[in-house]
Amino acid sequence: MSLDKYNQKRDFKQTKEPKGKIDQSENELLFVVQKHAASHLHYDFRLELNGVLVSWAVPKGPSMNPEIKRLAMMVEDHPYSYKDFEGNIPAGNYGAGNVIVWDNGTYTAADNTTSPEKTLKENLKKGRLSFILKGKKLKGEFSLVKLKGKQENAWLLIKKNDKYASETDILLKNKSVISKKTLEDLEKKAEKTSTAAPEKKKPSKAAVKSKAAVFIKPMLAASTEKPFDDEDWVFENKYDGYRTIAVINPDEINLWSRNQLSFNESFETLIPELKKIEHTVVLDGEVVVENNEGKASFQLLQNYLKTGTGNLKYYVFDILNLDGNSTLKLNLLERKELLKILLDKHKLSHVFYSEHTVGNGIKEFEKAIKNKIEGIIAKKADSIYLSGKRSNDWLKIKIVQQEEAIIIGLTEPKKSRKNFGALLLGQYKGKKLQFIGKCGTGFSDATLKELYETLQPYFTTEAVITEKIAQRDSIQWVEPKLVCQVKFTEWTDDLHLRHPVYLGLRTDKNASEVLLSTKSKTVTTDKKKMNKAEEAAETKKDYDLKIGKIKLHLTNQHKIYFPEDGITKGDIVQYYNEVANFILPYLKNRPQSMNRFPNGINASGFYQKDVDTDKIPSWLKTEKVYSESNDKHLDYLICNNKQTLLYMANLGCIDINPWNSTIKKPENPDWLVIDIDPAQHKFEEVVKTALAVKEVIDGLESDCYCKTSGATGLHVYIPLGAKYDYEQIKILAELLAIEIHKQLPDITSLERTIKKRNHKIYIDYLQNRRGQTLAAPYSVRPVKGAWISTPLEWKEVDAKLHPSQFTIKNILKRLEKKGDLWRPVLGKGINIKKILTLLENRKKD
């Protein structure tokens, strides 16, 4: 922890901020929250640690509501003496503006530890910091959690659900806890003491210049037919205009099309507006022209480009870079939060923040129909920005069907019409240009003349498509260079547009980008109404996901896997994408017995051990391993990375079932398992059995760890460190099962045959054989509710416990708080010789 950055950014001849020196409290660690009206209002959250104040800028301020997560951007460490700083940072200095001490107090680690400061330092490095605040305003347990895979300094500040939690807005208490003044009081005082216009100061030598902003290729949306409701998605209006990237530097503003064609001249009236933004920034949005009723139209925009008249507006829906910092890896809601702060500050008259709603896609679509706009855009709330990529994380849902089409020819004019009769249109299917129909309406006399003159340089005598067109009129072929926008009623069965109407040229699109629409052939044979689950299952959602150098093709992501819960194949894939870092250590180098449910949990599944190495991608790792049950060597899949894990999920592997040993030591398991199979017993008795297992293992002076099976039982694992072979472990497991059964003879059984168990809980020790598998920790299980096989703390194994408490919808929050509880299972392991000696001594006693 260093104060070098702090000192470099400040000129202490101009600012009253304290110089950076190491210092510390005598007893308890302190915290301070300063409310800071700099270039934008924010709250500086600071924790004393190692002689400095570790600091985060929280744009929206802390909250006492556990449901609200606040973005916190880690900044440079501040000196201990900054804890009392209030007042004004003069213009021209870093962080110029007014500061008050909004809250202060002491804090300690939330973990029960003899060395809180040491624990806090270790947890800070891990990126998961939990602490208890004893402030005048902020009280109780909070966490700071680093956002993995996001921008380097992005964290979340989260209030834990304790007795201090509240939905009341704590920020309404807006006075300093030291001076009792508000920021507004400081501003009024500055106005009164100012007797003359402020002298222009030279920029501080310590001021840090942002890197120049540059064009960033925009992220593109895929298409889908139907609106949907989903709390993990947000919904925005689809604007009928030109996608525009605004690149704002202090000395230059540039407006670019999606293909980096300049819009500066076309939309020059926006440039003075954007100059008012006092930041280096890259914005993404849509430029439209609205009529007097506020309705945007592509034709109005076309007219504006010719005449310069109309109500031009720029709706901004994303921010890609701010003051030299890329925001691409922040999630969508975090980016939109920063964007709203930026635009709210400047109050521009022709530049607007694009509002969104969460979850209610169907309602927003109905509203769009009522307002007669083009449609809506659905965006996954936690999606990062994929520059230049078309992604299924963004979906456009249109009301009026529109298409981009390449002009490939003209027909001759008839009667009084001049210049041409109709446009011949095409789209690319792969590399082949395909005819999609002709368009003869939507033209004025002026448009006919202007468009004809625009197309003339591209006239050619050779046909630009290979297929024959049933067309009586003579055709003037046109090189496939220019793109137009058309609206139409539907696609015909032969893939032609029905009733297309010309809307205008798309100067922002290249012909090579105009592909035959995936919606072009609508299946109409089945008119029956489908329920929500069936309808979603019919909707195919295919896309490519790049992980490192590997491009993974994911299919049928909208297929419903859990009908009663509405959980899709895509939800399972996304879960494993997010939990990969937790589950992969327990899969590495282990043969996978794939339990596949390609049609969801209500359809029959099947196990697959052997994979066809000729038919799988070459980047997948396989290993030939002898299978006793098959009596031959099989090519097992080995899951050592995220791309393989997601490949398995895409195959329909809802749960993941690795061997107990690895290919490096196939005969030596890494753990011994006691599988508590409850049959029809109440779960309280399953818990009672698990506690009996722990009592036996504790008596043998060894460690064991418990997890839910994710179905109806519990699993207790004993770490082995791969020091013993399966024969040794199978004998030990049976000896342990006998001891456990002695503890609870009335409710447990060692009988393998179900009929002989007499409805008792089965203590299954036979899982400790070569080739046997159990669901991995953090694996989803194919049961209603999508329960997760979840590692537990032993204090959680009590009468309140039930496997249904841990599901795909809440497990990530638990992992955020508790981390990986299963790690000791891969540790050094027990001493079998010692255990056998203790067991032998028990028999003698």
Active-site residue set: 238
In a 3-state reduction of DSSP, which class is residue 648?
Answer: helix
Cα gap 798→811, rounded to integer Å? 19
- State how far the alpha carbon of 810 is from the alpha carbons of 107, 312, 575, 790, in Å: 28, 45, 11, 11
Helix H, strand E, coil C: the string for 196-238 is CCCCCCCCCCCCCCCCCCCCCCCCEEEECCCCCEEEEEEEEEE
**CA-closest candidate to residue 12, choices 3, 1, 2, 24:** 3
402-411 vs 390-398, strand pairing mode: unpaired
- What one-character DSSP code corresponds to residue 590? -
- CB-side exposure of 134: number of CA atoms within 13 Å? 8
Angle, CA 722 vertex, CA 742 and CA 632 arms, to 5°: 95
Give me the residue label for tokens 């028999």.
843
Q: Write out the E strands in 300-416.
A: 311-322, 325-326, 351-353, 357-360, 375-380, 390-398, 402-411
- State how far the alpha carbon of 715 is from the alpha carbons of 69, 675, 776, in Å: 34, 5, 10
Residues 6+ apart with CB under 8 A from 212: 249, 280
Determine contact, residues 407/424, Cβ cutoff 8 Å.
Answer: yes
| Structure-block tokens of residue 758 | 């007499």
Cα gap 376→227, rounded to integer Å? 9
Residue 210, class by beta-carbon neighbours within 10 Å (0-12 exposed, 13-18 middle, 19+ buried)? middle
Cα gap 725→731, rounded to integer Å? 10
In a 3-state reduction of DSSP, which class is residue 126?
Answer: helix
- Residue 762: what residue type? Y
Question: How many C-beta atoms lie closer than 10 Å to residue 140's C-beta?
Answer: 19
Determine contact, residues 743/692, Cβ cutoff 8 Å.
Answer: yes
Dump the DSSP string for 89-110.
EPTTSTT-EEEEEEEEEEEEES
| Structure-block tokens of residue 496 | 């032609």
| Dihedral sign for Cα atoms in the order 235, 239, 244, 249 | negative
Helix axes 726-743, 832-844, angle to 10 degrees: 40
- Residue 119: what residue type? T
